[in-house]
Amino acid sequence: MALVRVTVLLLVAAVTSTSGLAGEVHVAVAANFAAPMKSLATAFERESGHRAIISLGATGQLAAQIRQGAPYGVLLSADAAIPRKLASEGYALAETQRTYAIGRLVLWSRDANYVDAKGDVLRRGDFRRVAIANPKLAPYGAAAQQTLRALGVLEKLRPKIVEGANINQAFKFVASGNAELGFVALSQVMTDGELNSGSAWIVPAHLHESIKQDVILLAKGKDHPAALALLRYLDSKPAREIIRLYGYELP
């Protein structure tokens, strides 16, 4: 009986110790990465026992929240510049910054016959509104603006541009029909190489700056087991496969 009692006590202690290792990490995530992050969070919890609590927004908005004391432990940015700036200001650990995905910009319409394979619809300009994310806050919005400038149509189309606070809002403008077309993230309209609906033109990468999306450990995530585990998980083969399936290129 004594042996049985000791064995049970050891098992209870082991379970208690293991459950005590699990934790939660608040993660600030660029809006374009919403869909893959939800899949990653589910797989991460299954793999590690830790839970990722996701907050979405334009990268600039998330940076402002971090500076104001938001409890984020990890930032998944839509660019490389903002994590670097946060590190220089003492809000993040510079040595942990790395690229987790390279985003692709796409011109999309919910109408299956609206956007042509070369994006010539932009030169025709026979639409009322084109949606983009705020270029001052969202890297995908900046890339959209750069694309319009490279095509020589920015000034012509400026009166027709409607800005969303982030890439999700830009997508909603188009999905609702409030804008006939708009620049969104490839991951919002395609899965595993297949267009989910409508029509789209994948913007050639040379028309805008590379959308290198960087992750960084924030000061509030330093020595936090769940935050550190998430950083490790993002480098794993299963995580990279999830990211690829949503239309991102891998670094």
Q: Are strands 130-133 and 161-164 parallel, antiparallel or unpaired?
A: parallel
Q: Please state which CATH class domain 2-102+211-245 belongs to.
A: alpha beta
Per-residue CA distances from 237 to 16, 43, 66, 234, 244 (Å): 30, 12, 29, 8, 11
What is the predicted pLDDT for the residue at 21?
A: 57
17, pLDDT greater than 80: no
pLDDT band at 191 (very low <50, low <70, confident <90, very high): confident
Helices 59-67 and 81-88, packing angle to 10 deg: 10
Q: Quick one: tokens of 82? A: 């903002």
Where do the CATH 3.40.190.10 domains begin and end in the chain? Answer: 2-102+211-245, 105-202
| CATH architecture assigned to 105-202 | 3-Layer(aba) Sandwich (3.40)
For residue 138, report the phi and psi dihedrals to the nearest 5 degrees.
-115, 120
Say what the pLDDT of residue 195 is.
Answer: 85
User: What pTM was computed for the model?
Assistant: 0.81
How far apart CA 89 and CA 91 sit, in angstroms, is 6
